Amino acid sequence: MHAMVLQAPGALLRFEPREDPVPAPGEVRIKVGACGVCRTDLHVVDGELPDIAYPIVPGHEVVGRVEALGPAVTSLRIGERVGVPWLGHTCGDCPYCRSGRENLCDRPRFTGYTRDGGFATHLVADALYCFPLGEANDDVAVAPLLCAGLIGWRSLVMAGDGEHLGIFGFGAAGHIIAQVARWQGRSVYAFTRAGDVAAQRLALSLGAAWAGRSEEKPPVPLDAAIIYAPVGSLVPLALQAVRKGGRVVCAGIHMSDIPSFPYRILWEERRLLSVANLTRGDGIEFFRVAAEADIKTHTSVFPLQEANEVLSKLRAGQITGAAVLQP
């Protein structure tokens, strides 16, 4: 097998040969068909997340086929197409796991962060944390659903059922969740960085009622806003855009510092929330919704060996929709 390997924070990924991994009990080996590139991969590569053990292979939006079964695996079969998400394993014993909140597990493992991920030709994964995908749609189209879609779905649920929804950062997650929100009958308002005409055009083509710069005031007070961009200065802007009792959901795993802001923009029972990871239940629910809503991902495809260039493009805001690597 081959993999794009991160040896140190901030280093370029290196394309390296490796021995084919052997699945341990409860694990499967997967031949990768496609792997989406997520902003969280940037946080891993840039060393912005704690406790990274190097070397590590990033990538956690993985679609592939089961190639080998470890001992005691009965839930999957050879040749089955599966998705491997960010949440790679939980302990099952901590208070969070026992109360149905495995996304907050005290001893989790994460694909592409604390265990090797999908920027590779093969990977091993815990069989219980793989999603059977069936054969609908190709691997490239499905890959962004494994994180941008899943975390997007969890953030949409946390935002509540208000009619007017703001999306700050209209990238991979934003363009997926905008489609879900429109299918649900909501009005979507897309906020992008200044000059990102391509993202604004994509938002409007997907049925957004309005698209503009993050600093602009939307045409109506929002019932809720979701922030996908890892920019702390967007929090006060989003709070000012939501109505009394509205919610602002921060959907990223990492964000720059939130600046101080006057209490009056939080007052009147506005709520500021964060999303952490996902549960397998989120995945089951979201893939059902994605099929019913006929979600279409807008992707740019690159060879696996170009992962460094793709990450640079993502960092510079030069990817519209989602980027996907193919071995």
How high is the pLDDT of residue 219? 97
- The C-alpha atoms of residue 2 and residue 326 are separated, in whole angstroms, by 12
How high is the pLDDT of residue 159? 98
Residue 71 is classified by DSSP as T
- The C-alpha atoms of residue 321 and residue 149 are separated, in whole angstroms, by 12
How high is the pLDDT of residue 67? 98
- The C-alpha atoms of residue 189 and residue 82 are separated, in whole angstroms, by 33
How high is the pLDDT of residue 303? 98
How high is the pLDDT of residue 166? 98
- The C-alpha atoms of residue 257 and residue 269 are separated, in whole angstroms, by 23
pLDDT tens, position by position, 277-289 = 999 999 999 999 9
> What percent of the chain lies above the pLDDT cut of 90?
99
pLDDT category at 251 given cuts 50, 70, 90 is very high
Which residues are CB-neighbours of 262 under 8 A, at least 6 positions away?
Answer: none
Residues 3-31: what's their mean pLDDT? Answer: 97
pLDDT category at 294 given cuts 50, 70, 90 is very high
Mapped to the 3 state alphabet, what secondary structure does 239-274 carry? Answer: HHHEEEEEEEEECCCCCCCCCCCCHHHCCCCCEEEE
Strands 27-37 and 322-326: antiparallel
Residue 148 is classified by DSSP as H
Domains in the chain: ranges and CATH: 2-135+297-326 (3.90.180.10), 149-274 (3.40.50.720)
Core vs surface per residue 171-195: b (16+ CB within 10 A) or e: bbbbbbbbbbbbeeebbbbbbbeee
CB 268 within 8 A of CB 291: no
- The C-alpha atoms of residue 125 and residue 229 are separated, in whole angstroms, by 28
Report pTM: 0.95
pLDDT tens, position by position, 197-227 = 999 999 999 999 999 999 999 999 999 999 9
pLDDT category at 245 given cuts 50, 70, 90 is very high
Q: Which residues pair with 4 in a beta bridge?
A: 15
How high is the pLDDT of residue 38? 95
pLDDT category at 172 given cuts 50, 70, 90 is very high
Residue 294 burial by Cβ neighbours in a 10 Å radius (0-12, 13-18, 19+):
exposed
CA atoms within 13 A on the CB side of 51: 6
- The C-alpha atoms of residue 249 and residue 154 are separated, in whole angstroms, by 10
pLDDT tens, position by position, 20-61 = 999 999 999 999 999 999 999 999 999 999 999 999 999 999
Core vs surface per residue 116-154: b (16+ CB within 10 A) or e: bbbbbbbbbbbbebbbebeeebebbbbbbbbbbbbbbbb
Alpha helices in the chain, H assignment, sequence order: 39-45, 95-98, 139-142, 148-158, 172-183, 197-205, 234-241, 280-293, 307-315
